[in-house]
Chain A
Amino acid sequence: MGPADYNRKRATVDKAVALLVRLGGIGVVLAVFFIAAFLVMEAAPLAAGPAVASRGVLVEAGRALAAGVEPFAEASWSLRQDGHLQLRDLRDGELIEDRELFRLREDERVAAVRVAADQGSLAIATTAGRLAAAPLGFVVDYGDELERSHRLEGTAPRWLIEEGAGPLSAFDHQVDGPTVWAVAAAADGAVELIRGKLKIDKLSGEERISFRKLVLEPQGEVRDLALLESGAFVAGFADGSVRAWQASRDFKALEERGAGAPGAPILQIRALIGSGSALVARDDGSVERWMLKLQESGHPVLGQAAAMPERLPGLRGVVPSSRQRLFFALGQDEVWIGQATAGEYLARIPLPARVRGLAVAPREDHLLLLAEDGSLELRAIDLGFPAVTAHTLFGKVLYEGAAEPAWTWQSTGGTDAYEPKTSFVPLILGTLKGTFWALLPSIPLALLGALFTARFLRGRAREIVKPAVELLAGIPSVILGFVAALYLAPAIQDRMLSIMLLPIALVLVTVALASVWARLPLRKRRILHEGLAPFVLAGVYFGIAWAVIGAGPWIEQTLFGTSLRMWLPEGLGLPFEQRNAAVVGLAMGFTVTPLIFTLAEDAFRNVPETLAEASQALGATPWQTAVRVIVPPAMPGVVAAVMLGLGRAVGETMIVLMATGNTPITGMNLFQGFRALSANLAVELPEAPHGGSLYRTLFLSALMLFAFTFVINTLAEVVRVRGRKAL
């Protein structure tokens, strides 16, 4: 091989490596930025509104009073006037099944149908004034090729009013485990609350249902009724007033639970999923959410939770969602999708004019439109993540069961019908609280310490202090969290006063020592400059800390007559928790202080020695030099150090996870815990269903953390670089 060939080979290797390094280097840089992009990608769908396909599958079903689809949205059911339930394949329009679900008497017809919000049951009222309810279930059969076929589940209806006294003006039903509830208003205005309890005879295995009824005669014409939880119901009247009653616990009387003022006549009342609240639609197109609010007296009272901000012209009815607190309001030629928790309309969708009713598929992936001529149209719909809006994330919301609007984070509950409460506010406040109590002791400690280390310590002493602080910065935070939660928290709960008094005592003693020192003859004052002072002081401090902590309980007894932790709740009404913000502040101090310390020390040390020499040559004392000559130019670096400390405190996870109770509260009480954004992620993300609303909400909170720390750090860097240039 000649030298030219050899050089060509070298050049090739060089180019190949250059390519590799460029690819690898740019790849790493991009990968790291991809993190931010990915967080945005995962959180972005929260902002997207619902979307509905502009056309869908059309099927002829004949005239039906009510219709709906089974969970796969491949078959639709419809209930006809003769009490027959039909199941039709939406893929080919074939009739699959026709069953006489409700056996009616002669000349009797189904007058009205009501489907429960969870779509698990339906109820009918007949022209004779009789009332019946039946479960609504579907069975899927899989063929050889795993193709699905559907049929109706074999169910028996149950008559809740066996003998009617004329048509009903309104009714509602509710199946709650073995209990069936119904409420019905007769044409004469009497309202009847019915409770049926299913009992299984243990010997014969026979099912028996026992009914109890309560009757009420309210003033006014009842337009609609809706059952709420535990035997409560809401009635809407022609004069626009809304009133609620509830059966007493022993089911002997109906107790009034408050009333709303008259207004536009009531069109419809529909219970939302879980029956914690009801939608009230009026003739003027307005929709409101009403619920029973728990008063301090312990009694729930009817109140309006939210009013939709706009009126839908020609409102014909509302259909609540079967999965979340969402509803579809059907107008003359459009349907509006409303979010009941936040009280806002998310989307409006134009419809063909002939539509007279609609139903939502159980999985909320399709809308079924019922036309005047009896045809059904199935349209695909993508609701997105309607439960999360800017208002639910950051605004105060009146949730079911609460008395006041509040910022609440409680993302999951016991049942599917749980109303998720996803306010970031308690988490942000929690993060800020932890950060505040962590920075409060850390900043003075770190900055003063850094100034001393950089400008007063010399030689070996500095060689010990600086690496020691760096070692401290490297302690895994899980260890600090463990020590904080299992050692510090129990150890100081009876010595909270000592913890608060200790800094004051230390400062006072230091000042006293310094004053004595200043009067000492010069030659006795050498140890300060030999770097021994911190070590001597550490010994002194140990003694003081020992004394103050020992005396703490005694002082608490003397001052309060009991311990501080008992006195706070009893005397001041402030709650006290063992794992509180003070513990977190102390523990986080162990990570934040060394970080600020090392960075500030660099800043102080980077001020050229020549400046200090010039100052001292002019007769300034070392302290004057430090304060007037060293600190000002080092200020940008110091600010940057504090900002980085702030960033660290905001993102710290394990300490806040372990050393607080993780209750998402909003107060700034030093003696209570909190829940931080970071710890919330660690707790909830592993359990959040992939791709769901909570999952994306958590990604949004991670994005907020990322953005906040990134911006803080970048600002710190800018400040630092500017400062260095000025030097």
Chain B
Amino acid sequence: MTQQPTTSLGRIAADAAARRPRSEAPPGPVIRVRDMDFHYGAAQALWDIELDVPRGQVMALIGPSGCGKSTFLRTLNRMNDTIEGTRVDGQVLLDGANVNSPDVDVVELRRRVGMVFQRPNPFPMSVYDNVAFGPRLHGKSKKAELDERVERCLKGAALWDEVRDRLKSPALSLSGGQQQRLCIARALANEPEVLLLDEPASALDPNSTAKIEDLIFELRGRYTIVIVTHNMQQAARVSDSTAFFLKGRLIEVGSTRTVFTNPARPETEQYITGRFG
């Protein structure tokens, strides 16, 4: 703790850590990944992943393009099921239960583990219907209840003030940044325990990116968040812990501050100092 940050990234991480409340007890992991391999058909994409995601914290996954971080993210809510010929070996445990076990209801899993994608992908319906989509699927259809939840989630996604007067207008008429926050609101409406963000700001302008980052900061604590990002400043700003992937392997994981200031592995250091990637 006494060590001085050596890089600018380290400084950012240290500042961010300083801004966070410190009171909580060290949380137990909500997701534990053990000895996981992943294949696309004959091609292996992930090797021997061992990772714990602490409850209520923000974990950033970083690494060069094609290193498997998005693939890893999608194993957490089994989105890879939608791609033919994929195979997962090893264990992904959510609250101790293996998500790949055949008696896990994937629909329920995805309600508990929400996901937001790289590009905003609202449905071509109204703002309201977008947010209400998940709750309706899961059997919430009372109007008052829905109204309340839509408002809460839009507020939670810091969008309420901007859209409160046009809940019935088409979601596609919103700006890109608003659309992405709507997608986050939509994910929140399912009351998930974990929120997976797959490069949520990469398609947005800097202003919108800042808003998304603020939002992640706001959501921290209430939700466990795993965010894939290309942007190391972003990782340093928003995350508590960081995992570095390279060529399908998890190279290093630790508190964001440690990873950025004092990486244990030379590859990590090379990456964050910008020597490749």
Contact = CB atoms under 8 A, between A and B. Distances in A.
A3 B107 contact: no
Contact of A11 (B107, B137, B139): B107
A7 interface: yes
B139 A6 contact: yes
A354 interface: no
B138 A6 contact: yes
Given A6-B138, A7-B107, A7-B138, 8 more contacts: A1-B139, A3-B108, A3-B139, A6-B139, A7-B105, A10-B107, A10-B137, A11-B107
Nearest to A8: B105
Contacts, number: 14
Contacts of A7: 105, 107-108, 138
Interface of A: 1, 3, 6-7, 10-11
A523 B124 CA distance: 48
Contacts of B138: 3, 6-7
Contacts of A10: 107, 137
Contacts of A11: 105, 107
Nearest to A5: B139
Contacts of A3: 108, 138-139
A11 B105 CA distance: 9
Nearest to A14: B107
A11 B107 CA distance: 9
A157 to B, nearest CB: 86
14 contacts: A1-B139, A3-B108, A3-B138, A3-B139, A6-B138, A6-B139, A7-B105, A7-B107, A7-B108, A7-B138, A10-B107, A10-B137, A11-B105, A11-B107
A3 B138 CA distance: 8
A345 B232 CA distance: 89
Across chains A and B, which 5 residue pairs bring their CB atoms closest together, nearest first? Answer: A6-B139, A7-B105, A7-B108, A7-B107, A10-B107
Nearest to B108: A7
Q: How large is the interface on B (under 10, 10 to 19, 20 to 34, 35 or more residues)?
A: under 10
A6 B138 CA distance: 8
A6 B107 CA distance: 11
Interface in B105-125: 105, 107-108
A170 to B, nearest CB: 83
A7 B105 CA distance: 8
Nearest to B137: A10
Interface of B: 105, 107-108, 137-139
- Label chain A's interface by main secondary structure: helix
A530 B265 CA distance: 64
A6 B139 CA distance: 7
B257 to A, nearest CB: 40
Nearest to A2: B139
A355 to B, nearest CB: 69
Contacts of B107: 7, 10-11
B109 to A, nearest CB: 11
Contacts of A1: 139
A6 B105 CA distance: 12
B141 to A, nearest CB: 11
B139 to A, nearest CB: 5
Nearest to A9: B139
A723 to B, nearest CB: 27
A1 B138 CA distance: 12
A7 B108 CA distance: 8
A10 B111 CA distance: 14
A24 B147 CA distance: 39
A7 B110 CA distance: 12
A207 to B, nearest CB: 88
A667 to B, nearest CB: 57
B99 to A, nearest CB: 15
B232 to A, nearest CB: 35
B190 to A, nearest CB: 12
B125 to A, nearest CB: 20
Nearest to B106: A11
B113 to A, nearest CB: 15
B239 to A, nearest CB: 32
Contacts of B137: 10
A619 B48 CA distance: 57
Nearest to A10: B107
B4 to A, nearest CB: 51
A395 B137 CA distance: 69
A7 B137 CA distance: 9
A15 to B, nearest CB: 12
A314 B107 CA distance: 84
A58 B82 CA distance: 73
Contacts of B139: 1, 3, 6
Contacts of B108: 3, 7
A1 B139 CA distance: 10
A10 B107 CA distance: 9
A494 to B, nearest CB: 61
A11 B103 CA distance: 12
Nearest to B107: A7
A12 to B, nearest CB: 12
A6 B140 CA distance: 11
A10 B105 CA distance: 11
A3 B109 CA distance: 13
A10 B134 CA distance: 13
A16 to B, nearest CB: 15
A56 to B, nearest CB: 63
B134 to A, nearest CB: 13
Nearest to A1: B139
A3 B107 CA distance: 11
A645 B22 CA distance: 75
A11 to B, nearest CB: 7
A40 to B, nearest CB: 35
A700 B184 CA distance: 63
A1 B141 CA distance: 14
Nearest to B139: A6
A3 B108 CA distance: 9
Nearest to B105: A7
B248 to A, nearest CB: 29
Contacts of B105: 7, 11
A10 B139 CA distance: 10
A3 B139 CA distance: 8
A1 B107 CA distance: 17
B82 to A, nearest CB: 14
B10 to A, nearest CB: 45
A11 B139 CA distance: 13
B49 to A, nearest CB: 29
A503 to B, nearest CB: 51
A569 B194 CA distance: 90
A441 B181 CA distance: 60
B12 to A, nearest CB: 42
B78 to A, nearest CB: 15
A11 B138 CA distance: 12
A616 B138 CA distance: 58
A309 to B, nearest CB: 60
A11 B108 CA distance: 11
A5 to B, nearest CB: 10
Contacts of A6: 138-139
A7 B139 CA distance: 9
A582 to B, nearest CB: 53
A356 to B, nearest CB: 75
B201 to A, nearest CB: 31
A636 to B, nearest CB: 28
B97 to A, nearest CB: 14
A11 B137 CA distance: 12
A61 B133 CA distance: 91
